Chain A
Amino acid sequence: KNEVEQSPQNLTAQEGEFITINCSYSVGISALHWLQQHPGGGIVSLFMLSSGKKKHGRLIATINIQEKHSSLHITASHPRDSAVYICAVRYGTGNQFYFGTGTSLTVIP
């Protein structure tokens, strides 16, 4: 069964803190996405990874293919980072994404 597990489910942080959100999957993948969804809002793709590490501003995403694990890091967190962060994976040549249930992040000023 293809499963995508995210942790934690909910996360509250003080402004400025370093944040890590984790994603684990059960079988080998061809790609992994990190998505951001604001309350009542649309979905923005933050990163697409198949190996290694990517950085965009204060966001860093890493993936360890052997351990079937990815992390999303936010440095110097800010209240505007408050959102749900979703991990999504694609397997082999399949087209559909399998999604984690999301991590709800609240950054307090």
Chain B
Amino acid sequence: NAGVMQNPRHLVRRRGQEARLRCSPMKGHSHVYWYRQLPEEGLKFMVYLQKENIIDESGMPKERFSAEFPKEGPSILRIQQVVRGDSAAYFCASSRVVGEQFFGPGTRLTVL
């Protein structure tokens, strides 16, 4: 029973490039959450998705960031035209029902 999987674990991008972060939830989990942890800061909610639907994106920056959770395949967090301020650890969590969340190992994004 594999846990939440995220890949890549480490991602390096130059300013202006695109970053794609993937999250495969635990088996049987249809709720996915993305969180960001900036250096020396706490975790912040970004977006909550269920299969094919964005439920709550109140924590997502208005520009350059998007998320999807298709019917088949992992959830994707996409950051277009990355800037140095996007450097952070991005964590995905999944749940079967609302409330009980299991976290993935995170993707550490470095923007040069």
Interface set of A (CB-CB < 8 Å, partner B): 30-31, 33, 35, 41-45, 48, 86, 88, 90, 93-102
What residues of A have a CB within 8 angstroms of the CB of B35 in the complex? 97, 99
Partner of B99, one of A30, A98, A99: A30
CB atoms of B33 and A95 under 8 A apart:
yes
With an 8 Å Cβ cutoff, the count of chain B residues facing the other chain is 23
CB atoms of B42 and A45 under 8 A apart:
no
26 cross-chain CB contacts under 8 A: A31-B99, A33-B101, A35-B103, A41-B105, A42-B103, A42-B104, A43-B106, A44-B103, A45-B102, A45-B103, A48-B99, A48-B100, A86-B42, A90-B99, A95-B31, A95-B55, A96-B33, A96-B45, A96-B58, A97-B35, A97-B45, A98-B45, A99-B35, A99-B43, A100-B42, A101-B42
CB atoms of B42 and A99 under 8 A apart:
yes
Q: Count A/B pairs, Cβ under 8 Å.
A: 53
- Nearest A residue to B31 via CB reads A95
Interface set of B (CB-CB < 8 Å, partner A): 31, 33, 35, 41-45, 48, 55-56, 58-59, 91, 98-106
What residues of B have a CB within 8 angstroms of the CB of A98 in the complex? 45
What residues of A have a CB within 8 angstroms of the CB of B45 in the complex? 96-98
Partner of B101, one of A42, A94, A97: A97
- B55 smallest CB distance to A (angstroms): 7
- B20 smallest CB distance to A (angstroms): 20
- A98 smallest CB distance to B (angstroms): 8
